[in-house]
Amino acid sequence: MTVASVVRILILLAAGLLADGASARGQAPAVAGDDATRSDQWRNAQRCGINAAYVFLGLQDIKADYEWLLHRIGVGDRGSTLKDLRIATSEAGLPTVVAKTTLEGLARTPMPVVAHMERQSSSEFSRDPRGHYVVVLSVNDRMVRYVDGTTGSLTLAPRLDFTREWTGYVLAAAGGRQAAGWPRPPWLGVAAAGLFSAAAWGALFLACRASAARGRGVVAGFGLVLVLVTAAGTAAAADDPPKPRPVPTVAEVRAEIEAQRARTTALLVSYATKQTALAEPAILVKYLNKLYLRNDRIEDAFKGPKRFHKVSQPSQAAPIAPLAPPEVDPNAPPAIRENQERLRKAYEDNAAKTKASAKAPGKSEKITFQPEEAWAYNGNGLDLKRLIRGLSEVHDYRKDGTRMVFQSGYLQNVGWEPDDPTFPKAGREVRNAMTLPGVFSVFQYKVKPTTETVEDGSVCVVLTGRGTMAGLEVESKLWLDLDHGLMLRRHELAQVSDGTVGLRVEADEPKSVPGAEGIYLPGRCRFFEFAPPYAPANLKGKGLAQTEMTLLESKANDLVPDSLFELTAPPGTLVNNYRMGNEIGLQAGYPVEFVVPADATKLDSVIDQAQQAASRTRAQSSGSRWLIMINLAGVLVLALVIAGRRFLRRKSQSTEGPKS
């Protein structure tokens, strides 16, 4: 059966569903959110089981009454069960069974079947799975075609996407009953093609015996029969055979990516990172400046110009090697060497202050961190806020935004990091080489004429291009998933001179993003760090460390709240405002400190805090006045003492008279 015929059946079934649903609406049990005057009363998430049963029976040429199914199956707070559907469909005249199977088993099951799905809630406060029913129409080696009886949509989905939500449970016709007019089982097509082939070869043999003189005609007939046999066998055995995937051009790929970015103005991702060493600790310290391995949970978000970054991490981490002064490599490029010298000086200054050299030898030293730290920029061009436990800071975004605090490891590696005008030139160059569509401004790409299939069966278009980074000619290769909205599946950067790989990103487990139709992000992303160009030859092209990032949650556009970028300090937080220092005449950079009131919604709390601050100011001012008065009094007393001594000395001299 062709796709067109299936669509025609579904249209007829939908029309019947609407008619029956409307006629039964007056006596149907009350369901929250239903409106008796609406003609689409069946479009209710709690009725997906009833709708699936109705479509399932209709595809088996059993015309069920929607009102009867509604009463027989019923609708509870949690919807309906497969047991309810089995009893109702059996009573409607189609014996059915409930079973659990694999995708391979489903492909061998006579179609159609009702499949039970579990779709995770997009709410960050709820992780409860939402059950749902769809009617599966066909399964081949790459795709699954199914219809949603609640939305009326016909979907052709990759097998991986389907299995991610399918629980494995199905409702199928007992005894392997095949739907009327439904596609023939594969063995029937093969048998028909075999019989046709045997008849054709027999006719060819008889023709050869009858007239050997017509050799050319026999050859032509042989070719024609062979073509007919192949075409007939393929048409009979295959259900909607896959057509060759057209390869898009570079311009088409770039246009689609730019369109996706244009309609995705806000994005929030939450992910966990886990770093693994692939080389000796001494090599990681020397060539990657990696002192420890991170295992963090991070949230990154943008909404137009607004930015948010939050990291939760262990308060302490053991260094991968004993802490020692960083070595300055004389063969390193000037920028790297300058950074190493700065790190060494900072280490020596810190050691001098803490007298680290006096510590017991071999004692384990741990690196300490803030367990939780967040940064936010609300897009006003001024306020860059930082929040850690018990302390909040307000900075000038124009000055301090260049610290690139909003760089996102996950978004950068999957090609979704937004542009930031505060990035320095070198930072923007690296960003463009890692993000989409920024790569098109760095590299001149060509499309590989054929597609490539990755491990999970998804088809990718491959782009290869060359460009210049930091004075080096670099080759970039991109694998973009055609089955999942051009999601980045793999990215490699290598030097053109010797082919040494300097960067590799691998991504899999595509997940759709709530709030952004047609946008996918990888559920898992692996970033490999390689030895720098100035490393010894035996390390070039060798991965030294791996960072695996697991996506925990994502949402886009209207689902990203504006409050996220305000970074409100909790009650009792001490706030340092570095923007106000010069404006009120204090020393440059000196913060203005104030404590967020315990309950800012009540004016009494604000008044109390103001009174406490005023009392401290008065005490400090009065103390200063008393100190000045005491000092003046001391000077006056000293002056009186000196004057008195001089007076007494002169008086004694005048009384004694001159001496001989």
Is 45's pLDDT higher than 80? no
Confidence of residue 602 (pLDDT cuts 50, 70, 90): low
Between 67 and 362, whose confidence is greater? Answer: 67
pLDDT value of residue 477: 95
Q: Tokens 């556009």 correspond to what residue?
A: 557
Q: What is the dihedral of CA 632, 634, 636, 637, to 10 degrees?
A: 160
3-state secondary structure 170-182: EEEEHHHCCCCCC
Beta bridge pairs of residue 277: 545
Question: Which range (195-199, 310-314, 417-421, 513-517) has the least confidence?
Answer: 195-199
**Interval 276-292: pLDDT, tens:** 888 888 888 777 877 77
Cα distance between residue 512 and residue 514, in whole Å: 6
What confidence tier does 655 reach under pLDDT thresholds 50, 70, 90?
A: low
pLDDT tens for residues 238-259?
444 445 678 999 999 999 999 9
Residue 479 pLDDT level (bands cut at 50, 70, 90): very high
pLDDT at 567 over 90: no
Residue located via tokens 């390193």:
332
Q: Which neighbouring-strand residues pair with 476?
A: 465, 493
> What b/e sequence results for 570-601 when a residue is b if at least 16 CB atoms lie within 10 Å of its CB, and e otherwise?
eeebebbbbbebeeeeeeeeebeeeebbeeee
| pLDDT, position 40 | 44
pLDDT at 139 > cutoff 50: yes
Model pLDDT for residues 486-521, shown as the tens digit of each residue: 999 999 999 898 888 888 999 999 999 999 989 999
Q: How many residues does the chain have?
A: 660
The pLDDT of residue 460 is 94
Q: What CA–CA distance (Å, rounded) separates 27 from 384?
A: 60
Question: Which residue has 């007829």 as its token pair?
Answer: 12
| pLDDT attached to residue 96 | 93
- Inter-CA distances, 631 with 625, 627, 637, 638, 645, Å: 10, 6, 10, 11, 21
pLDDT above 60: residue 227 = no
Q: In sequence order, what are the beta bridge partners of 143? A: 158
- Predicted pLDDT at 326: 60
Please give the Cα distance from 446 to 466 (Å, whole number): 9
d(CA 42, CA 306): 41
Tokens of 181: 């007019």
SS3 content of the chain, % helix, strand, coil (to 5): 40, 25, 35
Q: Cβ distance 157 to 144 under 8 Å?
A: yes
> Which DSSP string do the residues of 320-342 spell out, in sequence order?
SS---PPP--TTS-HHHHHHHHH
Give the pLDDT of residue 187: 45
Q: How confident is the model at residue 61 (pLDDT cuts 50, 70, 90)?
A: confident
pLDDT band at 622 (very low <50, low <70, confident <90, very high): low
**End-to-end Cα distance, the chain:** 147
* Range name among 103-107, 333-337, 485-489, 656-660 with the lowest pLDDT average: 656-660
Other Cβ atoms less than 10 A from the Cβ of 460: the count is: 23
Percent of the chain with pLDDT over 90: 26
Instruction: Locate 355 and state its tokens.
Output: 């007298």
Mean pLDDT value across residues 105-113: 90
Q: Point out which residues pair with 447 in neighbouring strands.
A: 463
Q: Is 50 exceeded by the pLDDT of residue 166? A: yes
Rounded distance between C-alpha atoms, residue 547 and residue 295, angstroms: 9
C-alpha–C-alpha distance, residues 314 and 544, integer Å: 23
The answer to whether the beta carbons of residues 415 and 435 sit under 8 Å apart is: yes
Average the pLDDT over each of 54-68, 93-107, 368-382, 611-625 and give the range with the smallest value.
611-625
Q: Which two tokens stand for residue 109?
A: 């099951």
Of the pLDDT bands very low, low, confident and very high (cuts 50, 70, 90), residue 606 is low
Contact 79, 131 (CB under 8 A): yes
Q: Which of 97-101, 224-228, 266-270, 544-548 has the lowest mean pLDDT?
A: 224-228
Q: What residues are paired with 271 via a beta bridge?
A: 298, 551
